[in-house]
Structure 1
C-alpha cells in the first residue's frame, strides 16, 4: 500500500501489468516494430484497427509478414520510397526517415506521415515504423495553396491585360492635354476612345475575378467566333498584320473571356512577329485554332510556352504572362490547349505556330 495525495493508503498497480504494451496500444498513430529483415514483430491497436476499417485481406496484425516486401510489391512510388527509407534506418545509415504520402479511400481524401526511427536498445537492428494521419494539416495547406493560386491568377491578369487599354487611355488623354485648342470633333473621338478603354479595363477586372473562381464563374453562352475575333482584333495594336477568319461558327463560351484569350494570342503573335504577316482563326472537329504564318517556336521552347513568366522575348519587355493566361482561360472552360508547330502538322509546307483548343462545344 502507498499513500495517495491525501495521505490515504492506496494499492499499486497489479504486479505484471505491461505499461509499455498499454502505452504502445494507446498511441493514436499506426505503429509497427520491424526487425533487420523488415519482418513485423509487433503492431499496436491503431495499426490493427486501420486494417480492419479498410478491408485489409489477411491478418490485420501482420505480425510475421515482411513489411519491406509488401512495400516492394506495390506499384506506388511512395511505397518504394518508404521501403528504401526504412532500409536505410535498419542499416544504420540514418537514425530517422520521414515521408508524407496520400492514402485516399473511395469516400475521403487522406494523407499520412510515415516516420521510421531506429530502436537503439535492441541487440539486433530494429525500427519503429509509425503512420500519422496529417489530413487536417494537408487540407489546410491545400486551401492556402489554392488561395495563393487565385491571387496569382488575378494579379497576372490585371498586371498583363490591363496594360494595353490603360496605355491607350493615357495616350489619348495626353494628346488632349497637349493641345487645349483641339477641335470638338477630335475631342469627342478621343473621349470615346478613352471611354472604350475604360470599359475594356472594367471587363478585364471582372474577367480576372471570374478566372479566380474557376469554371463555376463561367457565364457560357452561344457566341459567334467571327464576331468575337473581330472585336478582340480591334482591341490590339496589330501594326500591319492582317486577320483571316476561316469559319464563323458558333461555340459555347464566356464571350468576354474568349475575347481576352484571343487578344492574348494576337499580342503573342505580334510580339514574336518574326515574319508574321497573317493571323488565322478557324474551326476544328473538336474546337477552334489560332495560327500565324511566322517562323514558329523552337523545339526547346515548346514545352514551356504556357509557364507563367516564361518568354523568349523578355528583352523587349515581354512578361511571359500572355500564354499562361490563355491556358487559365481554357482550363476555366474545361478546354485543353496545345501548341502545334508546322513540323508537327500535315500541312507542314505552311510555316508558323498554331494553338489548338479541344473540348469546345460547337453549334
Structure 2
C-alpha cells in the first residue's frame, strides 16, 4: 500500500466544500485513512471464489491476502494518524504502512475481504496496530465506502479508534474476576474443611459428653481463623498501596521479628532506608519470616541485608527446589501440610503493588534466599 498524499485532490470537491472536507479530514481526533480499493476489488473478483467461501479460501491461501494488499493504493491519511503512529511525516507513514500492521490486523483482513467480496460497504472489527516506537495499540477499525463508489470501491475510508486503555481495563477486571474465583474456591474448600471438622467434634461432644473432642475442634477453629486472616491479607495486598514514606528497613525488620514466633534475625551490614508503604512492607517481611520459620524450624538462622536497588532475606533451612521456585508465589502453593499457601503470594502481590520484583534463589548456607529489587531508596 502506498501513494502520494497529493493524489487525494483527484477525488475531492473543490472550493468551499473541499475546504470543509479537508478541515474535517485533517483535524479529526481519530485516525482516518483514505484508500483506493478498486484494483484490489478487481483482483478479488478474478479469484472466482464464491463470496461465501472467500474467508476459508484466504485462510488457506495467505499469499493471496498479501497480494490483495499490494493492490490497495493508500491515497491519504490525516494528521492525527501521523502523531498516533509516531511517524516523522505523512510521507513517512504512507511509505511504511506495512510496519504499522500487526499479525492481528492480517487476521482481521480475511474478514474484511470476505465482506468486500459479498458487496458490503461497511465493516467493523477489533485489531492491533504497531507504532514506529514499538508500542502496540488496540483499535476498533471501521471501513466505509461512499454510495457513489459502492461498485468500484475507488474511495474507501478507514477509521481507527484507540481502545488500548479500555482493553487494559478489561484485563484488570478479568484479573479481579480470577482472584474472586480463587477466593471462592478457597472458601468453599480450604475453609469448609476445618469448620466441618470442628462442627463434627462439637456434635460428638454434645452427644456423648466427651470433652476430649473440644481440643481438636478448637484447633480446627484456630486453623479457620488463620485462613481468614491470610485471605484478608491476600485481598488487601492486591489493592493500591498507601502513602510512600522514608522507611528505615532495619527498624521494620526488628518490628516484624517481634511479631513472628521463633524468628531470630541477623542484620547484615547497613540496611537501606527505602520509599514504601510501611504497613505493606511490614506484611511482606512478616510473611517472609514466617515462611522461613515454618520451613526451617525454630532454630533456623535468618539474615536480612541490603542489595543494589533492594534487599534480601535468607535462611539456612532446607531451601526450595529449583522446580518449585516459580510456583511458590502462586496462591495456595505450599510444601508444608499445615501451611495455607498464601504467604508468598501475599509477598509477591505487595512487591508488585510497589513496582518491585521478587525472586527466590539459593541461600549462602543452602537455604532459601528471597531478593526484592527495583526498590527506591530514600533521598
Under a length normalisation based on structure 2, what TM-score does the superposition of the two structures give? 0.50
1:352: which partner in 2? 367
2:89: which partner in 1? 57
Secondary structure of 2:369 counterpart: strand
2:50: which partner in 1? none
CA shift for structure 1 position 60: 8.3
CA shift for structure 1 position 292: 2.0
Asked if the contact 1:337–1:356 (Cα under 8 Å) also holds between the matched residues in 2, the reply is yes
1:229: which partner in 2? 256
Matches of 2:182 and 2:359, distance apart in 1: 20
Please, which runs of 5 or more residues in structure 1 have no aligned partner? Answer: 1-16, 117-125, 172-177, 179-193
Give the direction of change, closer, same or farther, for the CA distance of 1:228–1:335 in structure 2 (3 Å limit). farther
CA shift for structure 1 position 308: 3.7
Give the direction of change, closer, same or farther, for the CA distance of 1:283–1:322 in structure 2 (3 Å limit). same
1:361: which partner in 2? 377
1:336: which partner in 2? 357
1:190: which partner in 2? none
2:347 maps to which of 315, 323, 326: 326
CA shift for structure 1 position 261: 0.9
1:143 maps to which of 160, 169, 186: 169
Matches of 2:111 and 2:72, distance apart in 1: 19
Asked if the contact 2:82–2:90 (Cα under 8 Å) also holds between the matched residues in 1, the reply is no
Matches of 1:135 and 1:289, distance apart in 2: 42
Matches of 2:107 and 2:231, distance apart in 1: 51
1:39 maps to which of 63, 70, 75: 70
1:305 maps to which of 328, 332, 338: 328
1:282 maps to which of 299, 304, 309: 304
Asked if the contact 2:31–2:161 (Cα under 8 Å) also holds between the matched residues in 1, the reply is no
Give the direction of change, closer, same or farther, for the CA distance of 1:56–1:204 in structure 2 (3 Å limit). same
1:256: which partner in 2? 279
Asked if the contact 2:318–2:367 (Cα under 8 Å) also holds between the matched residues in 1, the reply is yes
Asked if the contact 2:32–2:78 (Cα under 8 Å) also holds between the matched residues in 1, the reply is no
Greater shift after overlay, 141-150 or 283-292?
Answer: 141-150
Question: How many residues are treated as equivalent by the alignment?
Answer: 270
Q: More helix per residue: 1 or 2?
A: 2
Matches of 2:160 and 2:353, distance apart in 1: 33
Give the direction of change, closer, same or farther, for the CA distance of 1:146–1:61 in structure 2 (3 Å limit). closer
Q: RCO (CA 8 Å, sep 6+): is it higher in 1 or 2?
A: 2
Asked if the contact 2:359–2:371 (Cα under 8 Å) also holds between the matched residues in 1, the reply is yes
Secondary structure of 1:246 counterpart: strand
Q: CA RMSD in A?
A: 5.5
CA shift for structure 1 position 86: 4.6
Matches of 1:328 and 1:86, distance apart in 2: 40
Asked if the contact 1:211–1:329 (Cα under 8 Å) also holds between the matched residues in 2, the reply is yes
Matches of 1:81 and 1:291, distance apart in 2: 45
Matches within 5 A, 1:238-249: 238=262, 243-247=264-268, 249=271
Matches of 1:105 and 1:267, distance apart in 2: 48
Matches of 1:212 and 1:147, distance apart in 2: 13
Secondary structure of 2:169 counterpart: helix
Matched, 1:218 2:237: no
Secondary structure of 1:143 counterpart: helix
Secondary structure of 2:326 counterpart: coil
